[in-house]
Amino acid sequence: MRITDLKCAVIGDNPVIRITTDEGIDGWGEAENSKPYLKPHVLFYRQHVLGEDPTNVERVMLKIRRLGSFKPWGSAVSAIEWALWDIAGKAAGVPVYKLLGGKVRDRVRVYNGGVRFPMTGSEPEDYAADVRRMAASPEGFSLIKAAVAFHSDMPRNVPDFSYGEPHSGPAHPNRAPLTERGLNHVIECVEAMKDALGDRVSLALDCGPGWMLSDAIRFARAVEPLNLAWLEDLLTGDYVPYVHADLYRDLTTSTSTPIHTGEQIYLRQNFKELIERQAVRIVGPDPCDVGGMAELKWVAEYADLHGILMAPHGVIDGAIGLAALVQVSATLPQNYIAFEYPVARPSWWYDIVTGLPNPIVRGGFIDVWDRPGLGVDLIPEAAASHLSEEDKSFFD
């Protein structure tokens, strides 16, 4: 089998990848809806994969893997990897999980990152109301993640939150030491959320990045009695192109609260120090940033050897991303906690794909499906009306 084309269209705001072959089998990939600008980057790899046998996934990946980097520049390589596995699975007549070693679970637990409601403010009662709404959603989540501190509006909304400048940029605020009031405010919000949830629904916190190590240690120790699932990205993390494993090691060894990072990290090599030094208790690579599904599985296995847990990121990976997360998470070792459930946006995305269960999440789990490949395909007749003029030939 040979690859005859690699195409990319922006559907909604998701770059969608279609790899075609001389045997008429297509493979699909997709990047986050925050990255519509990636289309030319995706097409840069076309020259490197044309003519290759897509069922030799690793051989194709060796041609492009080194031409990527930390978030957002690992997404194109990652999404191409999904499309290759999709084709390989369809060609063999088996779901991708069979090619990644087989499933070790029939259903995969998800945690809530995608079912979101507008925050009414940044006070403890606003946070309590927010997690109450998420816990009441029909998906029945058993684990919910909330955004606090530099990952939230607190630096803008809470007076004298930190010693830093008020933030006005597009990404997360930059780093700053917290004031005593700021630190106490975060703790009060976390206590209010745990009061609202009790211990039937666990709480994880996306915290940054941007904390100073000394503040992070005080925070992690202060919330120890609350048995949080994890504290994510306190020091480095989302859109930070380095890791600082030594600082994470200091933080992790200072507290019993599990420390988590990894969504922006590209490739297993960049998890090596984090894992070997046991610098975190949980890693959270995204299959659309780390280099693909097989890359994520390798990181999970290596983490498991070192007593580190796995909770893949994926909040805006879209409908095809959901399929990739289900396929790989079915194969992960027993250090698997849950993956971050993506909600496809706009909602018409659910009308242009086939293969998703309805409802998708039941009781906090998704049943692993058995269709060949990723098991989720675009419906050209339904999707065509959402193509821009320059992408009109995407399905040809």
| Tokens matching residue 241 | 């192109």
Piece of the chain touching Mg ion by CB under 5 A; list 36-44, 117-125, 197-205, 256-264: 256-264
Piece of the chain touching Mg ion by CB under 5 A; list 262-270, 343-351, 368-376, 386-394: 262-270
C-beta of 31 vs 57, nearer to Mg ion = 31
- Please tell me the distance from the alpha carbon of residue 376 to that of residue 36, in angstroms, as a whole number: 21
Written as one string, the DSSP assignment of 261-323 is E-TT--SGGGGHHHHHTT--SEE---TTTSS-HHHHHHHHHHHHHTT-EE----TT-HHHHHH
C-beta of 26 vs 263, nearer to Mg ion = 263
In the bound complex, what is the minimum distance in angstroms from residue 209's beta carbon to Mg ion?
9
In the region spanning residues 195 to 234, those forming contacts with Mg ion, defined by CB under 5 A, are: 206
- Please tell me the distance from the alpha carbon of residue 314 to that of residue 322, in angstroms, as a whole number: 8
Piece of the chain touching Mg ion by CB under 5 A; list 36-44, 243-251, 258-266, 355-363: 258-266
- Please tell me the distance from the alpha carbon of residue 116 to that of residue 120, in angstroms, as a whole number: 12
C-beta of 93 vs 241, nearer to Mg ion = 241
C-beta of 111 vs 349, nearer to Mg ion = 111
Piece of the chain touching Mg ion by CB under 5 A; list 155-163, 218-226, 255-263, 326-334: 255-263
- Please tell me the distance from the alpha carbon of residue 315 to that of residue 230, in angstroms, as a whole number: 17
Residue type present at position 249: R
C-beta of 130 vs 206, nearer to Mg ion = 206
In the bound complex, what is the minimum distance in angstroms from residue 359's beta carbon to Mg ion?
25
The answer to whether 66 and 14 have CB atoms below 8 angstroms apart is: no
Residue 109: DSSP 8-state: E
User: How remote is the C-alpha of 53 from its chain's centroid?
Assistant: 28
Residue closest to Mg ion when measured from CB atoms: 206
- Reported as half-sphere exposure (CB side, CA atoms, 13 A), residue 299 has a value of 34
In the bound complex, what is the minimum distance in angstroms from residue 110's beta carbon to Mg ion?
15
CA torsion through residues 175, 176, 177, 182, sign: negative
317 binds Mg ion (CB under 5 A): no
C-beta of 30 vs 263, nearer to Mg ion = 263
C-beta of 71 vs 90, nearer to Mg ion = 71
**Residues at the site binding Mg ion, with contacts judged by CB under 5 A:** 206, 263
